[in-house]
Structure 1
Amino acid sequence: MKARVHVMLKDGVLDPQGEAVRHALGTLGFDGVNGVRQGKVIELDLADGTTEADVNEMCERLLANTVIERYTVEIV
């Protein structure tokens, strides 16, 4: 089984990396970009019997900083 975890900063948390990307896109002539939020995708190759609840616990304990980040789990 595989799982894909999407981790993004919560709304209201400053995203300096996203702002740097937005600025760079403007420098390259892409003037229509008003904002960028950057996150990460983590793909897990899991043993049979691993549950979505197990993946959520992985996120809570290691993969996401739940103080400033939100995450979603997608079983693929």
Structure 2
Amino acid sequence: MKARVTIMLKDGVLDPQGEAIRSALGGLGHSGVTGVRQGKLVELDLDSTDAEAARAEVARMCEGLLANTVIEKYSIEIA
């Protein structure tokens, strides 16, 4: 079973990397980009065959290590 975790900064948290990307895109002629939020994607291969148990385990991983829940939010996809 695979899990995909998308981690993004929470709304309202300054994203300097996203702003640098937006600025660079503007410099390359892509002037229609008004905002960029940059994040992380983590893919996990799991032994679990129970999707709900896998989701719960991945959520614990996010809370404990993968995401800084003070400033980041995460979403989990199980496949």
**TM norm. shorter chain > 0.5:** yes
- Structure 1 stretches of 4+ with a deviation exceeding 4 A read none
SS at match of 1:35: coil
Other-structure match for 2:75? 72
Cα deviation for residue 48 of structure 1 reads: 2.3
The residue identity in structure 1 corresponding to 2:76 is: V
SS at match of 1:51: helix
Other-structure match for 1:27? 27
SS at match of 2:63: helix
SS at match of 2:19: helix
Other-structure match for 1:58? 61
- Provide structure 1 residue ranges, at least 5 long, that are not aligned to the other structure: none
| 1:27-62 residue CA offsets vs partner (Å, 9 max, x unmatched) | 000000000000010000011255210000000000
The residue identity in structure 1 corresponding to 2:10 is: K
CA contact (8 A) 2:5 2:42 kept: yes
CA distance in 2, matches of 1:56, 1:18: 25
SS at match of 2:31: coil
Question: How much identity, in percent, do the aligned residues show?
Answer: 68
**TM-score normalised per structure 1:** 0.96
**TM-score normalised per structure 2:** 0.92
- Provide structure 2 residue ranges, at least 5 long, that are not aligned to the other structure: none
